[in-house]
Amino acid sequence: MTTMQSAVATNGHAAVTRASLRRGALPLRRRAMDILSKVLMSISLLVAIVPLILVIFYVIQKGAGLLSWDFLTEDIVASPRRTGGGMGPAVAGTLLITGIASLIAIPLGLLGAIYLNEYGRNNALARFIRVMADVMTGVPSIVMALFIYIAVVLTMREKTGLAASLALAALMLPVVLRSSEEMLKLVPDELRQASAALGSRRWKTTLSVVLPAAISGITSGVMLAIARAAGETTPIVVCAGIAYGISWDPMVEQTALPAQIFVNAALPFAPAVERAWGAALTLMIIVLVFTIAARVVASRFAIKNR
Amino acid sequence: MTQSRTLTQKDRGRINDRAFWLLCVTAGVAVLGILAAILVSTIQQSWPALSNAGANGFFTSTGWDPNVGKYGILAFMFGTVVVSLIAVLFAVPVSIGIALFLTELAHRRVKAVVVTLIDLLASVPSVVFGLWGLYVFSSWTKPLYEWLHDTLGGIPVIGALFGSVTGLNFMTAGLILAVMIIPIITSITREVFDTVPAADKQAAWALGATKWEMIRGAVLPHSFGGIVGAVMLGLGRAMGETVAVALVIGAAIQVTPNLFAPGYTIPAAIVNLFGESSGEFTAALIGMGVVLFVLTIAINLLAQVVVRRAEIRMKGAVA
């Protein structure tokens, strides 16, 4: 505040003689502070970007040598000391587990979002659900994994791919719900009114007018949620068990890429660590493809704001 | 005839409408159901460990030996707090810097690129950060830690923080976590900065303020509440982060002021030990899960109250 008052004073004074609004007219200390702040902002940006680049660089450098069609499709070797083998069961498991989780979480999250934005709006229940969904977003994945372990694995008496899917679905649900709601909120009310004026009911308006208008934003949010879910490790470790061969049956034990990275990284054998890097590269490719696709979908088909 | 047909159509429409509403409400309420189910089922399963927590020193003892039935989780709680505090301490200034860069400094094109990069950072799976931290980052930081130990280790009181260096330690875990929570703190802080009224900024410009003076005089005071909320959300994330920490913290059950010593956190312990546990041991691990759940929920709720209150005040300022 004092600097601003002094700014007024110097400017007022300058106006009497000759107004100089050039940068050079500023006192050195103020100019230095300004430049310093800009430098610090740029440095903080670098502090975040450099690790990202380094992580991507090392994953490619250490994983690229292993990546091949065989690595993606072959069974996992039973002894971690041995070289060779692939990540086939983990790739299949990641696709299967994440796929089933998406099939559960996306419809549920979308319907919930429709309730919040089209029906509940600002009533007490909708506001409560909103707060709780935000809280649920913050629930650590390990807690969600323990919950599904208790609720599903203990009752079925075995670890299954399905159990891991349910845990991932529970983690995805609040993300899908809140991001879809934000997109529904962007749909102009005139569209709803026009549809209502033509005599359609609420459900018809929602399904045939509101949803199509918001679908690109919703898709982008959903894809980001899928990318996050594909990288979740703890639900797989706690609920899915282990597998060495490819199986597409969700009712048996499964494995997935994040779990393989986690388990192999902690082993003291060089071939296992190498496989961890290979699996990391595979997982990164899957996640990045989804993330970038989400960006493209969002920007290409964005709703024009009124 | 025609009248009755239109009536049935109308009825069917109404039934469809009610059915669709019911479907949507059910989906919305599912969120509440899942949260309640988590709380009930985890507490129920961990009851053997939690019910005599006072007598066993569940919360107050560092003694942890499942073989003889000793379950004191103090060292794990200590590790969780230390690691998340390190993470927040490093992530907050960086995140605020990036958010300011995005809202006040960057051109539109640069902004789009930076936002994409931060999104990418957010989407890197935590296990990949853990792998990188274990095999790359920790070997880089070791010489730095040793230098810090040599130069600062001798100072009384503060020196205790910079004790002898072990390869995997609190500091490495905290730094990795910091990188992981930067995106979330940045995105919330940026939203808060975006709500600063243009009139406040223009007033600062009109008084002849430089960009930094405008930020200090108009943007930061206006955003304080929102930033506090963002920091708390970041803290909640850091506390719950599991696999990256599990890989780089070194798995040692101890309470020590030395930041360069190995430690353990609650989530890391659960994911590492759960597979080999049974009976009371499992109950104790799930009890640790309950502690983590309650802590993160409390922090998240508090953060939301803070953010929301700050939002209301900001809207008041606009009107």
Domain spans in chain A, listed from the N-terminal domain onward: 25-63, 86-300
* Contact yes or no for A44 and B94 at CB 8 A: yes
* Contact yes or no for A140 and B13 at CB 8 A: no
* Contact yes or no for A146 and B42 at CB 8 A: yes
Amino acid of residue B66: P
pLDDT at A19: 60
Q: How far is A254 from chain B (nearest CA, A)?
A: 15
pLDDT digits (tens, 9 = 90+) for B168-201: 999 999 999 999 999 999 999 998 898 888 999 9
Kindly tell me if the per-residue pLDDT of B3 is higher than 60.
no
| CB-CB neighbors (< 8 A) of A296 in chain B | none
Average pLDDT over chain B reads 89
Mean pLDDT of B32-55: 87
Kindly tell me if the per-residue pLDDT of B318 is higher than 80.
no
* Contact yes or no for A291 and B247 at CB 8 A: no
Nearest CA-CA partner of A204 in A215, A191, A216: A191
> How many cross-chain Cβ pairs, A to B, lie less than 8 Å apart?
291
Contact assessment for residue A239 and residue A159, using Cβ atoms and an 8 Å cutoff: yes
Nearest CA-CA partner of A30 in B223, B200, B216: B216
Cα B293 from Cα A136, distance rounded (Å): 10
The ipTM (two decimal places) reads: 0.89
Q: Tokens in use for A10?
A: 């110097």
| CB-CB neighbors (< 8 A) of B285 in chain A | 146
pLDDT at A15: 45
Cα B228–chain centre separation:
13
- Write down the architecture of domain B58-318 according to CATH: Orthogonal Bundle (1.10)
Nearest to B209 among A4, A116, A203 (CB): A4
Nearest CA-CA partner of B289 in B302, B301, B277: B277
| CB-CB neighbors (< 8 A) of A232 in chain B | 125
Nearest to A47 among B29, B94, B286 (CB): B94
- Regions of chain A where pLDDT drops below 70: 1-19, 21, 301-306
Map residue A201 onto helix, strand or coil: coil
Q: Range with the lowest mean pLDDT among A191-195, B13-17, B312-316?
A: B312-316
pLDDT bracket for residue B319 (50, 70, 90): very low
pLDDT at A295: 82
Cα B32 from Cα B305, distance rounded (Å): 19
* Contact yes or no for B125 and A119 at CB 8 A: no
B191-206 exposure pattern, b = at least 16 Cβ within 10 A, e = fewer = bbbeebeeebbeebee
**Residue with tokens 């380094």, as numbered in its chain:** A54
pLDDT at B100: 95
Nearest CA in chain B to A258: B127
Amino acid of residue A7: A
pLDDT bracket for residue B276 (50, 70, 90): confident
Nearest CA in chain A to B175: A51
- Write down the architecture of domain A86-300 according to CATH: Orthogonal Bundle (1.10)
How many CB atoms neighbour CB A192 within 10 A? 18
What SS3 string covers chain B? CHHHHHHHHHHHHHHHHHHHHHHHHHHHHHHHHHHHHHHHHHHHHHHHHHCCHHHHCCCCCCCEEHHHCEECCHHHHHHHHHHHHHHHHHHHHHHHHHHHHHHHHCCHHHHHHHHHHHHHHHHCCHHHHHHHHHHHHHHHHHHHHHHHHHHHCCCCCHHHHHCCCCCCCHHHHHHHHHHHHHHHHHHHHHHHHHCCCHHHHHHHHHCCCCHHHHHHHHHHHHHHHHHHHHHHHHHHHHHHCCHHHHHHCCCCCCCCCCCCCCCCCHHHHHHHHHHHCCCHHHHHHHHHHHHHHHHHHHHHHHHHHHHHHHHHHHHHHHC
pLDDT at A302: 63
Q: How many helices (H) and strands (E) does chain A have?
A: 14, 0
